């Protein structure tokens, strides 16, 4: 389904989703991030990309697995499986959209994660094509994506200046469009042509190149013991920025958080974890197989461009460029791959 939506009618459409939780990018605290919006009037799609990725909607930083307590000496577990109301996210950039099927694979392939899927099944992603790259660190095309990729999205919107071209991709997306049917106009040939032209132009901007994607896994295998890693991680501070902001990083830790030691009350909680932290791979013996920052940088890069390719036949990176832009010391995954591939 393809429709045209005027800038003014966008709000009208958003207002038809009043039984859903609607999130859209908002510029607050000097940064774009997703925020819940209460009415169509609050929507602003002039964003670059959000600092946090959409993974938060399906893989929140803190997920309670269950509550526990001791009643009459007997341990009692209470389910905390989430049952969210339908959630619609506007303004998803295509790189983030492409991250979602990769996360789906991780949380489905060997084990269907009920917490992830309880949220995922209720989530509708409305993408917004990038008419031009937002940052010199964008490289979606270098990892097989595109600024108007539909992968992972339920709807793709394209900004045609005074109006949006809106394309329903999945049944879920079409249903959300149907609800706002009065807001939409039919799409004309010239609208189609305009959208096509914008898409074409958006692909023509230079992006950071990765060379031959298929050659990268072998280069990484060959360089497993290379001294390059220590050199490239020389200034790494070992923080969690690159992975926490990444749309596809999904590693987690599970802890019991006891709130009342006397009654043994508490929660089992899943929280984001990060391969750059020293305790990520630490053994109880004190031995740490990824004991230095070089091997941890290698772990991050290999996971995305080698192990994930071996296991799932695609890169676990969609070229959003957050890990590059936000790194406090300039560690640059594109430059890293370039050096390793040389």
Partner 1 sequence: MVNVEEIRDFAAGLLERGEVKSVLGFRHGSASAFAEPCTLTEADDAASLVWDPTCLNNLALYLVKDRKQQAASKTPDTRPVGIVAKGCDSRAVGVLLQENYFKREDVVVIGISCEGTGVVDPKKLSNKLKGRTASRVTFDGADGISVSVYGDETETVIPAREVLADRCLECRAAAPALNNVVFGDSVEARDYNEPFHAAKEAENVSEDERWATWEHHFDRCLRCFACRAVCPMCYCPECVVDSTTFVVTLGTSAKEKANRIRWCERSANTSESAVYHLTRAIHLAGRCIDCGECERVCPVNIPLRLLNTKLEKEAFEMFEYQAGHDIEQASLLSSFRDEDPNSFIR
Q: Which residues bind partner 1 (CB under 8 A)?
A: 27, 29-33, 46-48, 51-52, 61-62, 132-137, 234-235, 237-241, 244-245, 253, 255, 257, 269, 271-272, 274, 277-279, 282, 284-286, 324-332, 334-335
C-alpha pair distances (Å), 151 with each of 4, 57, 93, 220, 312: 21, 17, 11, 27, 16
Coil, strand, or helix at residue 309?
Answer: helix
Task: Tell me which DSSP letter residue 192 carries.
Answer: H
Q: Give the residue from 88, 66, 76 showing the smallest Cα distance to 254.
A: 66
Minimum distance, C-beta of residue 297 to partner 1, in the bound complex (Å): 14
Q: Based on CB atoms, which residue is closest to partner 1, 51 or 129?
A: 51
First CA to last CA distance, the chain: 46
Q: For partner 1, which is the closer residue by CB, 96 or 332?
A: 332
Residues 6+ apart with CB under 8 A from 85: 19, 20, 21, 122
User: Minimum distance between the CB of residue 181 and partner 1, rounded to whole angstroms?
Assistant: 33
Q: What tokens were used for 92?
A: 């998803």
In whole angstroms, the minimum distance from the beta carbon of 127 to partner 1 comes to 18
Q: Measured from the CB of residue 250, what is the shortest distance to partner 1 in angstroms?
A: 15
Length of the chain: 342
**Largest Cα span, the chain:** 73
Between 9 and 322, CB nearer to partner 1? 322
To partner 1, the closest distance from the beta carbon of 261 in angstroms equals 12
d(CA 36, CA 22): 6
Rg of the Cα trace of the chain?
22
Element (H, E) at 311: helix 308-312
Residue 51 CB, nearest distance to partner 1 (Å)? 6
Q: Give 24's strand partners.
A: 35
Nearer to partner 1, 75 or 261 (CB): 261
Question: Nearer to partner 1 by C-beta: 82 or 86?
Answer: 82
**Both tokens of residue 57?**
């909607």
We find the least distance from the C-beta atom of residue 237 to partner 1, in angstroms, to be: 4
- Among residues 38 and 112, whose Cβ is nearest to partner 1? 38
Task: Rank residues 94 and 173 by Cβ distance to partner 1 and give the closer one.
Answer: 94
């Amino acid at each position: 389904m393809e429709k045209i939506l005027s800038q003014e009618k966008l709000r009208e459409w958003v207002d038809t989703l009043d039984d859903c939780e609607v999130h859209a990018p908002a510029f607050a605290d000097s940064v774009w991030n997703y925020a819940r919006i209460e009415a169509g009037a609050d929507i602003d799609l002039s964003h670059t990309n959000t600092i946090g990725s959409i993974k938060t909607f399906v893989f929140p930083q803190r997920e309670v697995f269950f509550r526990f307590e001791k009643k009459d000496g007997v341990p009692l577990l209470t389910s905390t499986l989430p049952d969210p109301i339908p959630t619609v996210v506007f303004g998803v950039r295509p790189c983030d959209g492409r991250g979602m099927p990769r996360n789906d694979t991780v949380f489905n392939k060997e084990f269907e994660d009920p917490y992830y899927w309880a949220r995922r099944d209720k989530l509708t992603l409305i993408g917004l094509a990038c008419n031009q790259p937002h940052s010199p660190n964008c490289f979606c095309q270098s990892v097989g994506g595109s600024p108007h990729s539909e992968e992972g999205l339920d709807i793709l919107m394209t900004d045609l200046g005074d109006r949006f071209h809106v394309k329903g991709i999945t049944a879920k997306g079409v249903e959300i469009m149907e609800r706002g049917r009065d807001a939409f106009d039919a799409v004309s040939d010239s609208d189609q042509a305009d959208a096509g032209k914008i898409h074409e132009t958006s692909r023509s901007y230079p992006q950071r190149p990765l060379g031959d994607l298929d050659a990268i896994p072998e280069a990484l295998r060959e360089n497993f013991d290379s001294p390059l890693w220590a050199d490239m991680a020389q200034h790494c501070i070992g923080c969690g920025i690159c992975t926490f902001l990444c749309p596809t990083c999904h590693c987690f830790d599970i802890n019991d958080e006891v709130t009342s030691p006397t009654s043994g009350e508490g929660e089992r909680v899943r929280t984001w974890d990060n391969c750059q932290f020293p305790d990520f791979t630490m053994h109880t013996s004190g031995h740490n197989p990824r004991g230095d920052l070089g091997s941890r940088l290698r772990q991050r890069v290999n996971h995305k461009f080698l192990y994930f390719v071996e296991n799932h036949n695609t890169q676990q990176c969609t070229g959003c460029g957050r890990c590059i832009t936000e790194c406090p010391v300039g560690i640059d995954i594109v430059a890293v791959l370039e050096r390793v591939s040389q």
